[in-house]
Each structure stands twice: as structure tokens, then as C-alpha cells.
Structure 1
């Protein structure tokens, strides 16, 4: 009987392992003799463009259904039909912030409120918005959410809830991943033995390994519980072959990470931001301006051409490794092994293995060989260090302060009208959001790497907190006529921060285990946080979201929105006022090119020129971009002798 089960496991492994080695290690594969794996980032890839044509058919019908339901009681309910008759259909994106398991669980509740597959989402939430979304981006803990849903055949949060208590339950984090077996020491030892073997196999195959390999492998058991050893051979590019993605029945998933220049340990708003999507990885930033085929990461190339003609590498793009790359901040958590309550046996086994890596300062994700080696797309105004380095170093996508993955969604070629920003950051010492991610992205457009981006004007952190903008949904960039000073008209931002409704969801970013009951409460509070408490605080909120979705197209077509939208924008759009800590509020009037942030709590607000805005962005970058968790990681790193 046991031999039969073993044979069955081997068969299943062969079926579900998409790496050519049937394991974690990458392997050699044949590829076209004339293949070039790198393209200049002059627009969307041909693959993404073709996929979008399929997706548009789904989003068009789903959005129409949502808007019809949301505006059914409007005085001019025929407006949606009039808009549809123009053929100008609004395009939506959703961004899920980082913040560890807090961001994953609370974000899951938020996404469930947008998902018409969730029980009650249509009646008490915003069901259908997710089906109408073209893009879904995630970063760090938000990337765990996006990645685990997308790479589990686009499962729903409702399905996760319905599957509670099963052996293959998604997000079963009742035990810390450092001690996954709980009181079963042998189970935990076996898990870490498997992780060790997998990472060592990658090293034996000739590839550098880092703590992120260990971290990604550990996470994968929680994110891919139905797959052999947590998807040991499951690759990121495999999603291309999934019917639900091929048919564009789901949003286009994007993961975000930050680049770290060789020889440095500085990550700020001048860092290159990378995205991973099912087809490509790379950056729109002028410091790289290139993308490569994600399937063939690990191939030794020069200017995109394999050094050995007709020979490529596949399997490097392990799904867990890429999800770990976007959350590499938590490598620091792994290095706290000696402060945990693990058994001495597991401490010794895992600690020795991790210490071997940390001694080499490999506390980042290493992409070796560098897929962009010797490419020629970088502007002469920027450093060539990325394309001349042997290794590409990537770190947690939130380390530059942009903890909501806005940048992929702001690309002009993606042509979004509205972005739903789900913020589960820990900007305050109570672990609540305070708008710091929006401030950082706003600042970035005035730097050299963000010169081709546009992001709406946002207030300073004092205003976010004192005006309560971090306690309920708020719209930014409502009036396009006030945004003419930017590079182009950016999408309207529907900001949806984590806030307390039925549960204290402001848990620590470094809380690494949640009971089943705690997970359910996080889900529920997330749902309530973005639906105005199941629409009980404002029964008109669904209609207001509809107004936000239609706003950009209404402006471009010079149409007149239903009169109910006027009240909605009054209730939910930021009015351009700033509030200092002393609660003084100064009206700035029209805020096109005339915003001044308060960087000193005792300062009063004033009008700033375009030049002073740029200078102010530098000051704000120093004040806000290194949020509390980056500071914590830095302090911890110094303590451990890593930095």
C-alpha cells in the first residue's frame, strides 16, 4: 500500500512540477536560435496587448452590471447607457498594499467586498468591481494575497472561507512558518529539511541562493497547499497556460519589487521599481527601461541574447521565489530565530543553514545571471550600473515608501481611469495607515525616475490623520481640470484604508500566526472597512463609487453626470484643504500646481510654485519614505551585523 502511495506522489509531482527539473532548481531547455529575451519598454508587450482584447469583453459586461445596479435609483439612471453608447468604457485597476499577514488577511476581506463571488457582496458591498477590473497589483503582503489567489486558479476569498478546516486550506497560518508543525517537532523538522534540500539543489545547479529563496519556499507551503511540497517546481510563467488566465477571466496580476544598486544598501524614491507579470519582468523607469521574458530568467545573456545559442534556462521563476522577492523585508524575521520559542533541534538546523547565507550578506533576492546584462535602453542621464552588473538585486517592494503598488497602474499605456487603492500599511505607531504611500508616489513624479508619471495631488500626513482621511474611503484627483500641471491626467484614486469596524485589524506587520477565528475577523473587518460598514454608514456609497468610476470618461466626453454624483464628490473627494497638528485648516482653493505640504508640525500651509514643490518632495522623502518597518529592518540589520 505504501509503495502505491509513493508512486502516486511521484506521478502527481511530475504533473504539477513545471520546472524542467521537476523541482526547485532551474534547468536547461532549448530555445530558438534567434531568440532575444529583452525588449525596450516603449509600450505594452504584444502578449499583454492581445490579452487585453480578451479581458475587455469581460470587464465591459461586468462593469455595466455593477453601474446599472449602483445607479438604479439615480434621477438620471440612463447615464450609464449613454456612456456605453459612446464606446468609451472606464478601465479599472486595484492595488493591494504591503503589510505582512495583516495586509494579506485584511486585504482579502477588502477584495471580497469587490468580488461578486462573495456571499452578500452585491447586497452589502461593491460586488462586481473586481470582475470589472483589468489589473490587480500586489506588493509584499498584498502580493501574497494577489499571488495566492491568482496562482490557485483564481480562487475566491469566499472559497477560502468555505474550505476552512480542510487539509488543503489556503492561508492556514495557525502556526508560525518558523514552526509550521506546532507542537509536532518532527513535522516542522521535516518541512525545513525539504526547504533546505530545495535551496541547496538550486545552489548545486550553479545559481546563487539567498535568504529570499528560503523565505519563498517557506511561504509556498501556505500559499500552495494542494501542490507537492508547496509547489516546489511551480513557476510564475505557468499562469500563461492556465485557462482562467488564457481566457482573461481574471484581472492581469502584477507583483512589485524594488531594485538595489550593486554595492549599495540604500532604497529610496530614486530606486528602480520592477514589476513581474505573467509574461515579463522589468521596469518602466528610465534607469532600466526594459523588460525580459519571465519564463527564461536565469539564462546567461548579453543584450538579451543567450550566450549559448539555442540554450536557455527555465524554472528560475519559481512562483514562491517571486512572491518572496516582493516581501524580502521579512528575511529579517527569519534571522530572529534565536529569539523565537523553537526547539533547540530546529533552531540549530535552520539557524546554521541561514547563518551560512547571512554571513555573505545575502539578505536580498539575487537574480543571477542578470537578465539585463549589457542592454542598451538606459538613458544616458542615468547610471548604467544595473545593466553592467553580473547580478540583479531586488528587495521588498515597499522599502522605498511606496507601499501601495501604484506605479504599474499609473503607466500611461495602460490607460486606467480609476485605481482602487487598498491600504493596509502600518504608518502610525498603532499600525494604521496614514497616507504615506500616496505621499511617496506623489513625490516620485518630481524626481528623475518619475518624470513621465502623473499622480494626483494629495495632502500631508497631518491632514490625512487630522481630517480623518485615513479612516474612511477618500477620492483623490476628482477634478481633471485641476491636474493640468501634471505630465498627463492621472487616474482618479479611490483610497480605501484599513480602519476599525468590528475588529482591531491593526495587528503588527511581524505577527506571523493567526488562528482561524482571527483570520475570519480580519476578513470581516476588511469587508466592512471599504463598504462603509456594509453600507450602513452610507447607503449611497455604492452609487458614489460608480460616480468615481465614470468621472474620467464623463470629463473627457464633456457629459453631465447624474446630480447625485455632485453630493458624492462633496462627501468623498479631498477638498484641497490642509490640517496641521494644531488643527488649523487653510483653504488652498484650486489645487492645480499650488500645493504645499507641511513638513514641520508647527508650520502653517502656504502656496508653492512648481519649483518649490519639487524641493518639497525631497524634504518629504526624507521625512516619510522610510516608514516604521523599514527603520525597524535597518535597526535589526545593524544589530545582527548585516548592514
Structure 2
């Protein structure tokens, strides 16, 4: 573990060059503050996990159980979706009556659901949101778009899109969007427009400034206790503690103490989650095969939901209860082995999902950003750039025939977690094209920064479709033959941009019934620039509010978008 001095130096070097969170000005209006604080449920009362007795069955989804040849959904997830869909018929009725589609018979559409009950993907559409990464730019874009679909937003209802968020069964975020998902879900899914003013971003939040650096000592003490308790730690633990101070809502606590006992599994204790009135949320991350090794097309997508931690992969489909993240049990565990609780700290999970520091552990021949090259001189082990999770699936995922392959983490003691944007999956669509989930519609929100528009040099740091096309291209590989996406135009040769798909919402797969309809929604300057640099740390209040109004549809009459 790096010393206290090395940790501080490394954080200062890293965050000088990349984005953490911008310094917005808070609005001191109690009506705009989140009503529900995050629930502290850590069994230790703090950041340090504890050992407990293992459950009888360690797996939520056993790697050996199949349903018609497919991996099964976990019980918690399937129950949530079943119960949410069953009570959503009135929501569909209300939404469709507000939309008033011409020549559309609402009663006829809802008749199967009213007769047989609301069932996702059978009697009612199954909808999900995939919210891209892109640091604070993605955080704000995702917040604004989801807010524009919220029935609690009067402007959204006037625009006839309010209510779609309540109809959605899934919402998945990666990197900067995991901050949105984590902050929103641990605060009991409040009105999204109330989140921004409560992100404690009015001070100087550049991480080399005293306002932030003064808390590094407290963070170090917490992480050191986790290390002394026998758990692996890395730079990502510190990153997660910093994120907690901004996105976890614990009024009255000192900033350096915020989120220390708030777990990802705490989401289950919120009233809206219990009443199934919010989407089933997930954050995702990938893993590096080993220190100094490159990512591959077969690099997995790990899912963190309020119910479980696991993955769906051609070589391994398995999950454990999220509350036992950090355990190392497997199907062959000794009876005396102990399990772990309290490892699923919400800030830590947001940190793993946004861990771009993993580039510091890339192969030696790969060119690395300057801040990483300097930071490597202070980090005593390259794996200190990775989010370290004890591997509960060790030994699983071995190939069963010569034509197959081993799962990349099957022999690892630690899973080395990193931002999925590093495997060109900055839009977390993969969880929503899993055949088991049976999605009908996926809203793909893209705020990636793809460089300059060759046809208009004044436009830069806007999406060019590369992330959507990249995931589509992976589904064409033999190993991913069980996944399907509709045809996506080539982004690498500029076709996607030339067709105008980067300037407006686009529907992909209207006539393709083999997989979900993809509604691609790129960040675009409808009336004003919304392409903040990934490293941008400071936003003026007026500018931030203007951009929020633009994105939430108050300027929805802008015809080109």
C-alpha cells in the first residue's frame, strides 16, 4: 500500500489533468434540497468491511443453472421487474392519455395487460436507459435527460414525454453516469432537478486546492483501517471517498465523513425501491486481465445492482448477493470459510465504475497520459491503479471444450476493476441487450467526447456514434453470437455523422424484432454549447442552469434536434 505522502502526491497529479466534479454554485433553497438522506447500513458503522457467516447458497445466480439454454435472472431482479410491471398499467394509461396519439386505441393496447396482468416484454413494453460516461459532462447530460422524462416534471408533461422514466424498468450508468445513478438511488430517487444544487459543489473543488486536499488525511485513515482489516485497497478507494463527499446525501455530516457507511445495497432500503416506483438501477465496470495486460474484446462487463454483483458473459454467467461483495467463496469453498459484509460501499462502487486510472496499468508500450506517467513514479505497485475486489468466482468459467475459452478472471485472486469506457463501452448497453432481460426499448444517452466534427470544425467534444457502433461491432464477433443489436451505421468512416445521427435522436431497429429498439440520444448543441471538456472543473451557476433548461426540453421547439 502506498504511504500517506505518495497517496496525496498521486491524487494531486492525477486530478490536475482529469475531471472529477465541477464547482457549481449551490442554491441555498431548502425546497431544492433532497428530502431523503442516504441510509447508512454498513455493519461496522464505517468504511471497513466485516466478516460474517456465509449463506447456505453463495450464489444468486448459479453458473450451473440454465433456463432454456440461457442464464437465469437473479431472484431479486426478476421479482422487482415482475412487481413493477404488474403495477404499471395505470402509469401507461396516464402516459398514453397525455400523449394523445392519433388513431391509437389505448384500451386495445392495454387490453392484454388488464386481462392477464402487467408483464414486462409480454403484455407491456420493457424499457431501459443506458446512460453514458463522460465525467461531469455525462453527469449533467444524463441528469437533464432523465429529468425530461420524469412525470414529476411539469415541463416534461407539457412536452408529452413526462412519465417515461416511471415506465422504465432499468437504468444503467457507467463512469460519470454511475455518480448520477448512485447519488439518485441512495437518496431514494428524488426529482432529478433537485440533485444538482445539493452536490456540494460551490467551493473550490479542484483536487489540488486546500478545500479538497485538507480531507486527504481523513480519507487515508479510513482506507488504512480497511487495509489493516485484511482487505485490498488502492487509489480507487480514495477516489471513491472523494466522490462520496459530493454525491452521497448525508446532511449534517462533515464532508470527509459522508458516505463512509452508505452501501450500494442500502438502495434496497429506500421507500421508492421497496414500492417498485423507480427503475432497477445498475452501475457497471470492466476488469483488466492482469497488471500490464491489455483489455481484449472479451473483457467482461461486471454489474452492480442493489441485489447482486455478477456478470453475463459467454464464458461465465454468475452472481452473488451484493451485500457479500468482497467474499471469496466459490462452489468448492470450505465449510469453515467466512464471508464479507460492508464491502459494497456506494462511493467505492462509483469509483470503480469511473476508474480511468487503470490506464496507468496498461502495457509498457502503450502511450500514457502525462499525469499517469508522473504518478507511476509514486505508486508502489501498478495494481494500485485498479479497483480491487476479491474474486468470488475464482475457478469458474473454465472452458468445457477445445473450441471455447477460459473466462479471463478465472484464475485471479483479485478482480481488477476499471472504467468500461476503456473497452470502448462508454454507453452501458451490454446489460440491456442480454436476452434474459427481454428489453423492447433502450434509450442510449451518449455524451462521449469524440473529437472534432470534420464538416464543422467549430463542433468538438460531441459524440460521433463511435461508442454505439463499437458495441454493435462486438455483437458480430463469434463469441457474442447470442447478443443482437439492430444495424448501426459505420462511425469510423464518418457515415454515422454524415447521416446526421449525431445531431438528433435516432431510432435504430424499427423493423428488427430480434432485439430491442435503440433510441440514440446524443449530446448536441441544440441552441447552445453543451460540450464541456472532460477536464473542466468549474461551471458558473447561470451557465449550468441554462444548459439544464436546454437539455430538459424547455427549448424543445428547436426543430433540428
Task: Give the TM-score of the pair, scaled to structure 2.
Answer: 0.80
- Correspondence for 2:163: 128
CA contact (8 A) 1:24 1:233 kept: yes
Following superposition, the deviation at residue 534 of structure 1 comes to 1.7
Following the alignment from structure 2 to structure 1, what is the Cα–Cα distance between the partners of residues 398 and 298? 18
Aligned with 2:467 (options 431, 437, 451): 437
* 1:2-17 alignment runs, 5 A limit: 16-17=39-40
CA contact (8 A) 2:505 2:520 kept: yes
Structure 2: runs of 5+ lacking an equivalent: 1-37, 66-70, 114-122, 361-367, 453-459
- Correspondence for 1:54: 83
- Correspondence for 1:495: 520
- Correspondence for 1:581: none
Following superposition, the deviation at residue 496 of structure 1 comes to 0.7
CA contact (8 A) 2:506 2:521 kept: yes
Following the alignment from structure 1 to structure 2, what is the Cα–Cα distance between the partners of residues 394 and 471? 33
Following the alignment from structure 1 to structure 2, what is the Cα–Cα distance between the partners of residues 456 and 338? 39
Aligned with 2:311 (options 254, 267, 283): 283
In the superposition, relative to structure 1, how do residues 38 and 27 fare at CA in structure 2: closer, same or farther (>3 Å)? Answer: farther
CA contact (8 A) 1:114 1:128 kept: yes
Correspondence 1:375 to 2:399: no
Correspondence 1:322 to 2:344: no
Aligned with 2:287 (options 240, 259, 264): 259
Following the alignment from structure 1 to structure 2, what is the Cα–Cα distance between the partners of residues 32 and 274? 22
- Correspondence for 2:326: 298
Following superposition, the deviation at residue 170 of structure 1 comes to 2.4
- Correspondence for 1:139: 174
Following superposition, the deviation at residue 357 of structure 1 comes to 3.9
In the superposition, relative to structure 1, how do residues 418 and 358 fare at CA in structure 2: closer, same or farther (>3 Å)? Answer: farther
Aligned with 2:194 (options 138, 146, 159): 159
- Correspondence for 2:111: 85
- Correspondence for 2:364: none
Following the alignment from structure 2 to structure 1, what is the Cα–Cα distance between the partners of residues 281 and 400? 28
Aligned with 1:206 (options 206, 210, 230): 230
- Correspondence for 1:99: 134
Aligned with 2:432 (options 378, 389, 409): 409
- Correspondence for 1:363: 385
Following the alignment from structure 2 to structure 1, what is the Cα–Cα distance between the partners of residues 399 and 226? 31
Following superposition, the deviation at residue 242 of structure 1 comes to 2.1
Following superposition, the deviation at residue 150 of structure 1 comes to 1.0
Name whichever of 471-480 and 56-65 sits farther off. 56-65
Correspondence 1:69 to 2:98: yes
Following the alignment from structure 2 to structure 1, what is the Cα–Cα distance between the partners of residues 133 and 107? 38
Following the alignment from structure 2 to structure 1, what is the Cα–Cα distance between the partners of residues 313 and 359? 28
Following superposition, the deviation at residue 448 of structure 1 comes to 4.0
Give secondary structure in 1 for the equivalent of 2:472: helix
Give secondary structure in 1 for the equivalent of 2:62: strand
Following superposition, the deviation at residue 190 of structure 1 comes to 3.5
In the superposition, relative to structure 1, how do residues 305 and 189 fare at CA in structure 2: closer, same or farther (>3 Å)? Answer: same
Structure 1: runs of 5+ lacking an equivalent: 1-14, 341-350, 484-488, 542-643
* 1:193-232 alignment runs, 5 A limit: 193-226=217-250, 228=253, 229-232=257-260
* 1:569-588 alignment runs, 5 A limit: none
Aligned with 2:204 (options 175, 186, 201): 175
Cα deviations by residue, 1:425-477 (Å, 9 ceiling, x for unpaired)? 11223110111121111111122442210000010121221121100011000
Following the alignment from structure 1 to structure 2, what is the Cα–Cα distance between the partners of residues 99 and 201? 32
CA contact (8 A) 2:383 2:416 kept: no
Give secondary structure in 1 for the equivalent of 2:169: strand
Aligned with 1:463 (options 495, 498, 501): 495
Cα deviations by residue, 1:187-240 (Å, 9 ceiling, x for unpaired)? 434421221111111111111111111111111100014264221111111212
Aligned with 1:272 (options 287, 292, 300): 300
Aligned with 2:41 (options 11, 15, 18): 18
In the superposition, relative to structure 1, how do residues 358 and 175 fare at CA in structure 2: closer, same or farther (>3 Å)? Answer: farther
In the superposition, relative to structure 1, how do residues 388 and 108 fare at CA in structure 2: closer, same or farther (>3 Å)? Answer: same
In the superposition, relative to structure 1, how do residues 68 and 125 fare at CA in structure 2: closer, same or farther (>3 Å)? Answer: closer
Correspondence 1:506 to 2:541: no
Name whichever of 209-218 and 189-198 sits farther off. 189-198
Task: Give the TM-score of the pair, scaled to structure 1.
Answer: 0.70
CA contact (8 A) 2:62 2:318 kept: yes
Cα deviations by residue, 1:122-148 (Å, 9 ceiling, x for unpaired)? 113511110110000111111111221
Following the alignment from structure 1 to structure 2, what is the Cα–Cα distance between the partners of residues 359 and 81? 63
Following superposition, the deviation at residue 56 of structure 1 comes to 0.7
Following the alignment from structure 2 to structure 1, what is the Cα–Cα distance between the partners of residues 399 and 353? 23
Give secondary structure in 1 for the equivalent of 2:222: helix
Following superposition, the deviation at residue 46 of structure 1 comes to 1.3
